[in-house]
Amino acid sequence: MSEITAYEKMLKDGTAFKKVDMNKIANQMYAEAGAGVVDKPLGEPAQQNSNLQEDHTDWSAVDAAMEKRMNALKDKMHGGNNKNQVNESNEISKLKARVKRLEEALIVVMETQEKLLG
């Protein structure tokens, strides 16, 4: 039976318009998905190999070198901390000047409107 025939049959008998409980379907899907899950692993635990040597490398020197390199790259990218702070204060002073000019322009507009209305 093809899918189209099956759907036409559902339309005729009214089952196509039946409400579907999505929670039930989701629960069934989770149950089917978890059917193959076993709480305990299969097989025996792995044997510890005594021939493996433990890593006693001191990674602090490597970490310090990498941190120094990252800081140098950050400084290069941002142009150094001092330049960044200077740029921020310069931006703030530019914004303050811009706000002041906008306020002056707004005052001129308001005075002009008062003259036109009065």
Most confident segment among 7-21, 38-52, 73-87, 98-112: 98-112
Q: Are residues 29 and 65 in the same domain?
A: no
Q: Are residues 112 and 64 in the same domain?
A: yes
Residue 118 tokens, joined: 């009065």
Q: Are residues 29 and 64 in the same domain?
A: no
The answer to whether the beta carbons of residues 16 and 7 sit under 8 Å apart is yes
Looking at residue 80, its pLDDT comes to: 56
Q: Tell the residue number behind the tokens 């330049």, with chain if given.
A: 83
**Region 98-118 average pLDDT:** 91
Domain count, the chain: 2
Beta-carbon contacts of residue 10 (< 8 Å; ≥ 6 apart): 16
Kindly report, residue by residue over 27-79, the tens digit of the pLDDT: 666 666 665 555 555 566 666 666 666 666 777 888 888 899 988 888 887 76
Assigned domain for 64 exists? yes
Assigned domain for 15 exists? yes
Assigned domain for 95 exists? yes
Q: Which domain holds residue 15?
A: 3-33
Q: Are residues 22 and 67 in the same domain?
A: no
Handedness of CA 23, 28, 32, 38 (dihedral sign): positive
The pTM of the full predicted model, rounded to 2 decimals, is 0.29
Assigned domain for 107 exists? yes
Listed residue (18, 19, 21) closest to 29, CA to CA: 21
Looking at residue 89, its pLDDT comes to: 80
The answer to whether the beta carbons of residues 81 and 75 sit under 8 Å apart is yes
pLDDT tops 80 at residue 115: yes
